[in-house]
Amino acid sequence: MALTFNWCQQNCSGHSFASIWCHRVDDRGNRVPGAQSKCYLADPLLAWVGPRLRSGLNRPNFTQLSEAAIGVKLARSIDLQEPGRWMADDSIGYLRTGSGNEVDFAPIPLQSLANSAMSVPIESKWVSKGWRADAITVEGKFSRGIVATQNIVDLSHPV
């Protein structure tokens, strides 16, 4: 037991988490007071436990699983660059556009060597076609971004 604890302290920065909050943010990456937040499991495979242990439950939604995996990786990457962001619930956020569409991971303020910058907006869709509508939402709002799909690579558009 002590060996496992010591290994975790050295290799997990002294803490580990089962989930992370994704708060709604505005155009500047500031949290929107009173808005509903999303919760992602830090290990998206945990979402498989229920359906595997009990028949009759719905199979996990791959769009939700991939969104969680991207969110957790993004949060960990930001926390590596700016330690404490994960614990402060300030590493990822989602945004609603004026027309009510959602961008899964909105730009948030980051520190860079020269000055502050914003992260790249990311939309997650577990599809192999029909993704351009989501790309147009991100492109219309931010003029740049990433739509992470099941198996499509299209570099001919800004998003």
What pLDDT digit, counting tens, does each position of 23-57 carry? Answer: 999 999 999 999 999 998 888 677 667 666 667 77
Whole-number Å distance between alpha carbons of 119 and 78:
9
Q: What's the whole-model pTM score? A: 0.80
**pLDDT tens profile 46-95:** 766 766 666 777 777 788 888 999 999 999 999 998 999 988 889 999 99
**Could you tell me which of 19, 145, 118 has the C-alpha nearest to residue 71?**
19
Helix (H) or strand (E) holding 136: helix 132-142
